[in-house]
A and B are shown apart, each in its own frame.
Chain A
C-alpha cells in the first residue's frame, strides 16, 4: 500500500491537519498564541470536552448517540456539590457522583436495548428527566464548592495542570479499550451492523450498555473538573455541551453512522473547537462574529470530511473494480 493510501486510512488526519493550519494562522494573527502558557490553557480548556468526547466516541461507534450527557454533567455536579455541602465528605461525594454518572449513562443503554427505542429519542427523554432531577435536588440554587477542590480544576502535579493529567489518563484508558480489547472490537462490529453482530453471537446488549456507561463515567469525571474550575455549581452548567462534544467526535473522524471511529481524533476535535474560541478571544474579535466563525469552520470541516470519505469510498470501489477486471 502506498504512503498516500496508508495516510488516507488514518481517520484523524484531516482534523490534525486542520488544527495545525489553525495553529499556524493564529500564531501569525496573535503574538501571544504560541506561548507555552496559552497552549497549556488551551489544553486545560479543552480537557472537559475532550474527556466527554472519549466516552461519546464509544457510543457513536456503536451507531448510538447520547444527548443526555449535558444533563448527566449537571446532575453529577449537583449531587457532588449537595453532598459536599451536607456531609463535607470528599470520599462520599466523589464516589456517589461518579457512580451516579455511570448508572445514568448505563440506564440510557439499558432503555435503548430493552425497549428498542432510537438512542436519540431515548436520550432526549432522559436529558429532560436528568435535568429535572438536578434542579429538584438543588432547588435551582448555586452551591459553592470548597476552595481545596479547585486543585482538580486549576492545580498542578509535576508542573502539569491536573485537568491535562486527567485527560491523559482517560485518553490512555480509552485508547486501550478501543484498540486493544474485545470490547472495542465488538463496539465497532455493532456499529457496522448490529444484526450481523447478533448473528455472530456477540454480546451486543452488554457492549452497548457498557459503551453508554463509559459515556456516563467520562461525563462524571468532566463534571468534577468543570465544577472545580468554575468554583461552584450553577444551574446553567452543562447546557448545550452535548452538541460541542458530538461536534468534537464527528470532527475527529468518527462516523455518526457508527462502525468506525478514533479516540485520538475526538480529543483533537475538542482541542480544535477550543482553538477557535481561543483565537477569537486573543484577537479581541467582535462578540457578534463568534457564532458565524464557529459555524463556518464547523461547516467547512464537515464538508472536507464528507469529501474525504467519498474519495476514500470511490478509491475502494476503483480498487475492487480493478481487481474484478484483472481476474476477468
Chain B
C-alpha cells in the first residue's frame, strides 16, 4: 500500500512538472525552421540561427526535407498546425511550397526566407542571404585582372552549380559580367549540379578539348580539390605566381577552398558570411512577430580572400574553423 502511494505521488509530481513545462513553453516564441537539406554550409547557417534563437529565448522546431519539395510542403503545413510564431524557410523548390507558405500567411505567421531567395513568392515577408551576383563578380573581377596581360583568345572554364538554383545562377551572372570586361574571352560553361564527381569529369573533359584554358571558376569551392586533381594529372598544377599557373577561384568558404588557397593552388575564394545570415534571419523573424516593418531583401555580400591574406583572415572563414 505504501509502495502504491509512493508511485501515485511520483506520477502526480511528474504530471505537475509536465503542466508547468508546457505552460512555460506556451509562453516561449516558437520559430519553425524548414530546411531544404543538410550539407556543410547549410549546417553553418543553421548553427547561427539556433545560437541566436537561444540567445533571444526562442524555441526552434526544425524540419529537414532532404531535397524533397513535397516533403517540405507537408512539413511547412505541419509547422502551421503546431502554431509556430514565424517560419524560417530555405526552399527546395519555390513553386511546390508556395501553397503551404500562403496557408501560413493566411494564419498570420510571418515568413522569412534564408539563403535561397523566393523572388516570385506572395507569402514571404523578408529574405536574407548571400549577394550571389556580387560574390560571382568579385571572383570574375580578380580573374579578369590576372588575365588582362594575355593577348589573343582567352579560354576560361566555368563549373556551374545546379541550373535551377538561384544562387548558382546569380554567381554565374556575376562572374560572366565581370569577365566580359576582358576582350576575346571565351567562357566554357559546364554543368555540375553541385556534384564534385561531375565537376571532376567536366574539368577533365574541358581540358582535354581546350588545353589552353587559362582560368577556372567554381560556383562552389568544394569543387576546387577536383580541379587540383585534374591540373595535377595534366602537369598544370603550378602555384600562384608561376608563369604557367592556371587561375582558380570559387565561391563558398569551405575548408576545401581555404586549404587550396593556402597551398597556393587556388588564387582565392569568396567567403559567404553564414553567421550574419543566420543571425539576421532570426532578428527579422523577431521584428516581424513584434509587428515591426522590415526590409524585404537583405543581402550579405561575401569577402574575397586571396593567397596573400587568407591565412590572416582564417577567423572569418567558416569552413576553416
List residues of A whose CB falls within 8 A of some B CB: 30, 32, 35, 37-38, 41, 45, 48, 128, 131, 135, 139-142, 144, 150, 153-154, 226, 229-232, 234-237, 239, 274, 277-278, 281-284, 286-288, 290
Q: CA A144 – CA B233 in complex, angstroms?
A: 19
The reply to whether A35 and B208 contact each other, CB–CB distance below 8 Å, is yes
- Within the assembled complex, what's the spacing in Å between the Cα atoms of A237 and B200? 13
* A153–B206 alpha-carbon span in the complex (Å): 19
Chain A residue contacts of B208, Cβ below 8 A: 32, 35, 37-38, 41, 281-282
B42 at the interface (CB under 8 A from A): yes
B-chain residues with CB within 8 Å of residue A226 when the two chains form the complex: 197
Chain B contact patch, size range? 35 or more
| B222: contacting residue among A135, A142, A239, A278, CB under 8 A | A142
The CA-CA distance from A153 to B254 in the complex, in Å, is 22
Min CB gap B173→A, angstroms:
13
Q: Given A150-B229, A281-B209, do A139 and B160 touch, yes or no (CB 8 Å)?
A: no
Contact of B39 among A232, A234, A277, A283 (CB under 8 A): A234
17 A-B pairs besides A154-B229, A231-B229, A287-B160 with CB distance below 8 A are A30-B209, A45-B204, A140-B40, A142-B256, A229-B200, A230-B200, A230-B225, A231-B196, A231-B225, A231-B228, A232-B225, A235-B40, A278-B205, A281-B190, A282-B208, A287-B163, A287-B189
Seen from chain B, the residues whose Cβ lies within 8 Å of a Cβ on chain A are 38-40, 42-43, 66-67, 160, 163, 188-191, 194-198, 200-202, 204-206, 208-210, 222, 225-226, 228-229, 232-233, 254-256, 259, 319
**Of A236, A278, A282, which is within 8 A of B195 by CB?**
A236
Tell me the complex Cα distance, A129–B226, Å: 29
Cα distance A235–B254 in the bound complex, in angstroms: 13
- Check A131–B66 contact: CB distance below 8 A: yes
Given A142-B255, A154-B233, A229-B200: A287 and B191 interface contact (C-beta under 8 Å): yes
Would you call B163 and A284 a contact (CB within 8 A)? Answer: no
The distance from the CB of B35 to the nearest CB of chain A, in whole angstroms, is 10
Most A CB contacts (10 A, CB to CB) among B43, B208, B228 go to B208
Find out whether the CB atom of B195 lies under 8 angstroms from the CB atom of A41. Answer: no
Chain A residue nearest in CB terms to B206: A281
Q: In the complex, what residue of chain B is closest to A241 when comparing beta carbons?
A: B197
Known contacts A281-B201, A282-B209, A235 near B229 by CB under 8 Å: no
CA of A230 to CA of B227 in the docked complex: distance in angstroms? Answer: 9
B60 to A: closest C-beta gap in Å: 17
Most buried by B among A35, A237, A274, A281: A281
For B259, list chain A residues within 8 Å (CB): 144
**Which 3 A/B pairs are nearest by Cβ-Cβ distance?**
A281-B205, A231-B225, A140-B38
Could you tell me the distance in whole angstroms from the C-beta of A58 to the nearest C-beta in chain B?
24
Inter-subunit contact B226/A230 (CB<8 Å): yes
Q: 23 A-B Cβ contacts within 8 A?
A: A35-B208, A41-B205, A48-B197, A135-B38, A140-B40, A141-B43, A142-B256, A142-B319, A229-B226, A230-B226, A230-B229, A231-B226, A231-B256, A234-B196, A234-B222, A235-B38, A235-B39, A237-B197, A277-B198, A278-B201, A281-B201, A284-B188, A287-B190
Question: Could you say which residues of chain B place their CB within 8 Å of the CB of A140?
Answer: 38-40, 42-43
What residues of chain A lie closer than 8 Å to B190, measured between beta carbons? 281, 287
Report the bound CA distance from A274 to B38 in whole Å. Answer: 28
Q: How far is the CA of A141 from the CA of B189 in the complex (A)?
A: 28
Q: Is the CB of A237 within 8 A of B196?
A: yes
Q: What's the least CB distance linking A160 to chain B, in Å?
A: 14
- CA distance in complex: A139, B43 (Å): 8
Q: Do B191 and A290 touch across chains, with their CB atoms under 8 A apart?
A: yes
**CB-contact partner of A232 in B194, B202, B256, under 8 A:** B256
CA distance A150 to B191 in the complex (A): 24
Given A282-B205, A287-B160, A141 and B67 contact (CB-CB distance below 8 Å): no
A230 and B255 CA atoms in complex are apart in Å by 14
* A231, B197: Cα distance in complex, Å: 10
Q: B196: nearest residue on chain A (CB-CB)? A: A230
Best-buried of A38, A41, A135 by chain B (most CB within 10 Å): A41
